[in-house]
Chains A and B, each alone.
Chain A
Amino acid sequence: MAIINQATKELQVKIVYYGPALCGKTTNLVQVHDHVQAAEGQKGKLVSLATSSDRTLFFDFLPIEAMSIKGFRTKFQLYTVPGQVIYNTTRQLVLRGVDGLVFVADSQYDKMQENVKSFQNLEENLRTLDLNLADIPYVLQYNKRDLPNVAPVDYLEFLLNNREVQVPSFTASAHKCEGVFETLNMITRMLLHKFINESQRKAA
């Protein structure tokens, strides 16, 4: 849960990138880290707790401050989870205190089952933390659109965004940094508007 610190006029928000193994979650953070415009001190180090073969073991972590918000110091902490099925306990740990989610789906046809299972796993893990996906801002990113064997976006929408309330979705080729910032800016906007609306509702 975000920290809104009245004493220091600081807002700290946790965004978790979730999705099946090798879908490009870490690549999203690497691209943000490498390409974001940031003033001195606004971007921290990208920390990866990974195996020797560069597969995420615990999480990746990137602290970053938004540059265009006045009135509050707004710090975002971006995390990824390990996608491999065996690391479910670890995914639950990383989800603690989550404010917003980016679900990264692999657009390749043969990955559809993994996408759906990972999405179901996300819902289950949130339930173990007494959270409900419907209450948490999230966006979908259909990654790897530059590969030849990708499913149509409509099909991905049918599988992952076929709900009462549809969420924003973005196509991406994360390794080329396409769609990465669009995704991050949308989840950021959704989160900040949620916080502002909640604070105004409580003040009323």
Chain B
Amino acid sequence: MPLPQLIEEDLRVLDDALATLLARCEASMAMLIDQAGFLITQAGEVDQFDTTTLAALSAGSYAATQGMASITRETTFNSVYQQGEKHSLLIVNVDESCLIVVVFRASVGVGVVKYHTLAAASTARLQLQVARQRTPTASLDLAAMNLEDSCSFFRRKVNTT
């Protein structure tokens, strides 16, 4: 299921859900990501972590877990939890397109984080449904995209061999 077209109202609701999650369980950072690894929105101490890479790795980790679920004849493992010494990480499924990733101090119990993350996931799921129903086939007009010098989107540095 592809991610629906999100407008500012959607992002505001999703951001609020993440902010509420952080406030209630004192997590360090939370983000909503696409299951292909794209970062959709984030909240908290995002400067402390490389969130782009964390999103890609979290999506990969969750996808691998689904493979394990299939092999063990489970329908799904709907979360992934990693406990660390300083920080722990929880990945929770939102729907077929999205995941919530939460980083929290290791001293915080995973139970409370999971409880509030599931609530945030529920809010996000509902808002994504709203977005899908609003404009099921919508796509952004990309005519504003100016492909200047389109031969070289990426250029090689001059003084390299």
Inter-chain contact B152/A96, CB cutoff 8 Å: no
Majority SS at the chain A contact face: mixed
Q: Is A58 located at the chain interface by the 8 A CB criterion? A: yes
Q: Is A32 located at the chain interface by the 8 A CB criterion? A: yes
Q: Is A184 located at the chain interface by the 8 A CB criterion? A: yes
Inter-chain contact B145/A72, CB cutoff 8 Å: yes
CA separation between A47 and B53, bound complex, in Å?
A: 8
Whole-angstrom distance between the Cβ of B156 and the nearest chain A Cβ: 5
Q: Which of B10, B141, B151, B154 has the most CB of A within 10 A?
A: B154
Whole-angstrom distance between the Cβ of B76 and the nearest chain A Cβ: 15
Residues in B neighbouring A176, C-beta threshold 8 A: 161
- Asked if A185 meets B139 with Cβ closer than 8 Å, knowing A35-B157, A45-B53, the reply is no
Whole-angstrom distance between the Cβ of A63 and the nearest chain B Cβ: 5
Q: Mark B1-30, 1 if CB is under 8 A from A, else 0.
A: 011011110110000000000000000000
Whole-angstrom distance between the Cβ of B64 and the nearest chain A Cβ: 6
The range of chain A's interface size is 35 or more
Inter-chain contact B53/A44, CB cutoff 8 Å: yes
- Asked if A203 meets B156 with Cβ closer than 8 Å, knowing A61-B53, A70-B148, the reply is no
Inter-chain contact B155/A36, CB cutoff 8 Å: yes
Q: Is A77 located at the chain interface by the 8 A CB criterion? A: yes
- Asked if A7 meets B63 with Cβ closer than 8 Å, knowing A44-B52, A68-B153, the reply is no
Q: A75-B52, A189-B151 are in contact. List 9 more A-B contacts (CB 8 A).
A: A12-B34, A35-B156, A47-B57, A49-B60, A61-B53, A74-B145, A93-B63, A189-B153, A192-B150
**Chain A to chain B contacts (Cβ below 8 Å), 5 pairs:** A37-B157, A45-B53, A67-B153, A177-B160, A181-B154
Which A residues are within 8 Å of any B CB, using their own CB? Answer: 1, 3-8, 11-12, 14, 32, 34-37, 44-45, 47, 49, 58-59, 61, 63-64, 66-72, 74-75, 77, 79, 89-90, 93-94, 96-98, 176-177, 181, 184-185, 188-189, 192, 195-196, 198-200, 202-203
Which B residues are within 8 Å of any A CB, using their own CB? Answer: 2-3, 5-8, 10-11, 34-40, 50, 52-53, 56-57, 60, 63-64, 67, 137-157, 160-161
